[in-house]
């Protein structure tokens, strides 16, 4: 897709959160009304005919467009959060990411086998977070599952798409 307006509004921050990392900051897209509108429309067009019943947004930047898209698709929204943040019983999955190890969890009743799920996050780089989310969602045996990201980083050595594996359709709005 690579809409030039969106590309022009992504901020890059060198050496954040540690030296050698060029961090792609999507908050500059979120604060711009036109960028929000473009992302909403592009995401809606991608998924309007897929029968999505639940959008799973990953903490925290995945909540922004995930919730907007869920509303637009007339689907429910499920939060994947860090441990201890959800008030009801959860299942969890741990993973390794660029700067350490982490865990995400969702409520035990968040999804079911009748759901068509879209997992959404802001960025695909190393793939650890999204692989963990995919593993969590698979435990519910949904009818179908899709993945979407605002940005996919394809720098040498970042193989997030390959880590996720086959069996799921992955789309991105921007490739950098």
Q: Which one is catalytic: 24, 42, 61, 93?
A: 61
**DSSP label of 81:** B
82/59 Cα distance (integer angstroms): 7
**3-state secondary structure at position 9:** coil
Active site residue 98: yes
Locus of tokens 């700067």 = 99
Is the distance from CB of 47 to CB of 69 less than 8 angstroms?
A: yes
User: Across the strands, what pairs with 58?
Assistant: 80
Candidates 176, 4, 174, 150; CA nearest to 69 is: 150
Q: Which one is catalytic: 37, 41, 45, 98?
A: 98
44/64 Cα distance (integer angstroms): 14
Is the distance from CB of 120 to CB of 57 less than 8 angstroms?
A: yes
Cβ neighbours of 112 (radius 10 Å)? 12
Candidates 144, 140, 173; CA nearest to 45 is: 173
Residues involved in catalysis: 61, 98
């Amino acid at each position: 897709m690579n809409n030039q307006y969106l590309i022009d509004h992504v901020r890059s921050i060198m050496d954040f959160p540690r030296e050698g990392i060029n961090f792609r900051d999507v908050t500059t897209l979120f604060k711009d009304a036109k960028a929000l509108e473009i992302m909403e429309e592009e995401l809606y067009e991608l998924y309007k005919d897929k029968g999505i019943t639940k959008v799973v947004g990953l903490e925290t930047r995945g909540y922004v467009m995930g919730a907007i898209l869920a509303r637009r698709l007339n689907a429910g929204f499920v939060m994947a959060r860090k441990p201890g943040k959800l008030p009801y019983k959860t299942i969890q999955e741990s993973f390794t990411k660029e700067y350490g190890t982490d865990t995400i969890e969702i409520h035990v009743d968040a999804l079911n086998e009748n759901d068509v799920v879209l997992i959404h996050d802001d960025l695909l780089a190393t793939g650890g977070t999204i692989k963990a989310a995919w593993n969590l969602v698979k435990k519910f045996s949904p009818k179908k599952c899709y993945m979407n990201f605002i940005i996919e980083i394809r720098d040498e050595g970042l193989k997030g798409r390959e880590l996720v594996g086959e069996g799921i359709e992955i789309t991105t709005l921007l490739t950098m």
